[in-house]
Amino acid sequence: MGRLIKNHWARLIILTAAAYQIGSAIEGFIWPKVFWDFMTKNLNGAVKPIPVLQILNLLMGLLGLAWEWPLKYFAGTLPHRSIEFRLILYPLSSLLSMLLYQGTDPAIYYIVGIGVYFWAYSEGEISLISAKAQGPRKTRGMSPPSIHNEDVRIETRILATDDEDVPVNKKTSFNGRLNQYFHTTKQLPNPSTADGSKRKSESESTNQSDDSKSKRSKKVVSPAVLNLSQRITRSRSASSSPATDSSSPGRSRARRQPSSRKSTPASSPVSLLRDTIPPNLTLLLVGVNPGIMTGATGYVYAHPSNLYWKLLHSSGITSIRHPPSDTYRLPELYNIGNTNIVERPTRDASMLSKAEMDAGVPVLEEKVATQRPEAVCLVGKSIWEAVWRARKGRAIRKEEFRYGWQDESENMGRCEGWNGAPVFVATTTSGLAAGMSMAEKQAVWEELGKWVVSRREAKKDTTPM
C-alpha cells in the first residue's frame, strides 16, 4: 500500500463526526437530556426550556460538514487550508457533543479525528499548505503584463489539487440540484493555434469590409499570465466566439459555442523545477515528471506522501533524510542529480500519454551523453518501458523486465568515445503506488545504495592525501 495521507483520513473522520452531531442535536430537541445529569443537575438548564446546547451542536455540526466537504464559500479560505485552525475549533465541537446525552458518539469521533489531524501536523503535512501560501514565484527581471480588457478579470488563486491539500471530494449532486452550492474548479483552456487562426480570419474580414477604418487592436490575454499559475475567468462578452465589438454597427453578438475540449484541472501549465545535472555525477536519478506540488515549489518529490527522500536515506545514498528543499544541494553533498523524462507537471504520472513519454527518451539520452554520469537510475518501471519502446519499437514483455541493473548493451547516452552510463531500474516512490510493499521497494533501493556507497569509498581511497 502507499503511504497514508493522514489529513485526508482525518477529514473523513470529522465528516462522520459532524453528521453524527447534527443527528444527535435533532434528537436532542425531541428528548432534551444532558449526559452528565447523573452527577449534577446544574447543566439541565442548557437543554430545557431553551435548547441552547442542541442549537450549538446543530450549528457546529453544520459548520464542520460545510468546512470539510467543503461548500464553495469555505473552499480555499485560510481556515479551510489550515490544520492549526482545526485543532483549535474541533475540541470545542467535541466538548459540546460530550455534554449532550445523544452526542457521545460524535464526541468520540471528534477526538479521534483531532488526534489524526495532530499526527498529520506533527509529520509535516502542513508544509504543503505553507508552500502554496507563498504563491507563484516571479521570474527575475520580468513582470506580468497588465490587462486592460474590462471583460477579463484575473482571480489570483493558486491551483489547488486533491493530492496536495484537503481535497474537494466528488460530491453526490442529487441530479444536479445541489451543484450550485458546492465548490467547483474551472480552468480556461490554454490558447491554441485554432484560436489564433480565428482571430486572424476575423481581422482580415474586417479590413476587407472597411479599409478606411483604423485597425482595431484586439486585447488578448498574454500566455505569460497563464504561466503565473493564475486562473482566468472570462465574462460572457469575452468568452463569446467569435469576439464582437458592441460599438460596431451591423454586427450582432454571436452565441457562445460549446467547447469540445475537456479542461485538465489536474495539470499545471508551468513548472519551477530545474534539472541538477553537473558533469561527471556519480548517479543521475530520472523521474517520470513533476507532480503539481513539485512544479509549484521547484523541489523534487515535494509531496509528503512520496517515499523518495526516505528511500534515499534508508538505502545509504544520503547520510540523513533531507527535506525536498535540499534538492539543489544534492550534487554538492553527494554528487547525485535529478531530472525527468517529461517536464509537464501533472497530478499523477498515469495522466501522461505513451507518446509523450517516448518523446522524452531522446532528450534524456542527450542529457546523459552530454554530462556523462557514472550511472543512471530510472525511478519507476514506466520510464524503462518508454526507453524500451523508443529503442526496440515495441512494448517490453513481462519476462524481459526486471528491477535493478540492466545489461551493458542497454547503457544510456552511448556516443563516440564513451560506452554510456549503466542503467539501474528502481521502483517508483509515489505514495499512490500500492503494487509493491515497502520492504520490496527498500530491497531494490538498497542494491543501488550499496553501489553508490562503494563508489564513494573508492573515490576517497584514490583521492591524493
Task: Summarize pLDDT for 359-370 with one digit per residue, the tens.
Answer: 999 999 999 999
Chain segment 385-427, per-residue pLDDT in tens: 999 999 999 999 999 999 999 999 999 999 989 999 999 999 9
The pLDDT, as a whole number, for residue 154 is 36
Residue 389 or residue 38, greater confidence: 389
Q: What mean pLDDT comes out for the span 440-451?
A: 94
Residue 456 vs residues 80, 282, 365, 374: alpha-carbon distances, Å: 47, 8, 25, 12
Point out which residues pair with 155 in neighbouring strands.
Answer: 231
d(CA 229, CA 133): 13
The single residue listed with the C-alpha cell 464582437 is: 244
Q: Which contiguous run of DSSP H or E holds residue 207? A: helix 193-209
The pLDDT, as a whole number, for residue 21 is 93
- Residue 287's closest CA among 384, 370, 421? 384
Chain segment 299-354, per-residue pLDDT in tens: 999 998 899 999 999 999 999 999 999 999 999 999 999 999 999 999 888 889 99
Chain segment 102-157, per-residue pLDDT in tens: 998 999 999 999 999 898 888 777 534 344 444 444 434 444 444 344 443 333 33
How many beta carbons lie within 10 A of that of residue 133, not counting itself? Answer: 11
Measured distance between the N- and C-terminal CA atoms of the chain, rounded to whole angstroms: 48
Handedness of CA 373, 374, 379, 385 (dihedral sign): positive
Does position 71 have pLDDT exceeding 50, yes or no?
Answer: yes
Handedness of CA 388, 389, 390, 392 (dihedral sign): positive
Q: Quickly state the pLDDT bin for 55 (edges 50, 70, 90).
A: very high
d(CA 139, CA 35): 60
Does position 445 have pLDDT exceeding 80, yes or no?
Answer: yes
d(CA 166, CA 70): 9
DSSP string, 68-111: HTTBTTTTTSHHHH-HHHHHHHHHHHHHHHHHBGGGHHHHHHHH
Residue 44's identity, in one-letter code, is N
The pLDDT, as a whole number, for residue 265 is 47
- Residue 295's closest CA among 242, 356, 340? 340
Chain segment 193-244, per-residue pLDDT in tens: 445 544 545 555 545 544 444 444 344 444 443 443 343 333 333 333 333 4
The pLDDT, as a whole number, for residue 215 is 42
Cβ-Cβ contacts under 8 Å for 157 (sequence gap 6 or more): 76, 230, 231
Backbone angles phi, psi at 326, to 5 degrees: -90, 15
Cα Rg of the chain, angstroms: 28
Q: What mean pLDDT comes out for the span 239-267?
A: 45
| DSSP helix, strand, coil percent of the chain (3-state; round to 5) | 45, 10, 45
d(CA 310, CA 321): 6
Residue 12 or residue 43, greater confidence: 12
DSSP state at residue 184: -
The pLDDT, as a whole number, for residue 465 is 56
d(CA 63, CA 74): 10
Buried-state track 176-189, b at ≥16 Cβ within 10 A, e below 16: eeeeeebbebebbe
d(CA 136, CA 409): 44
Instruction: Take residue 433 and report the three cell numbers written for it.
Output: 503506488
The pLDDT, as a whole number, for residue 267 is 57
Residue 283's identity, in one-letter code, is L
DSSP state at residue 265: T
Chain segment 343-360, per-residue pLDDT in tens: 999 988 888 999 999 999
DSSP state at residue 276: B
The single residue listed with the C-alpha cell 473522520 is: 13
d(CA 68, CA 373): 48
Instruction: Take residue 60 and report the three cell numbers written for it.
Output: 457546529
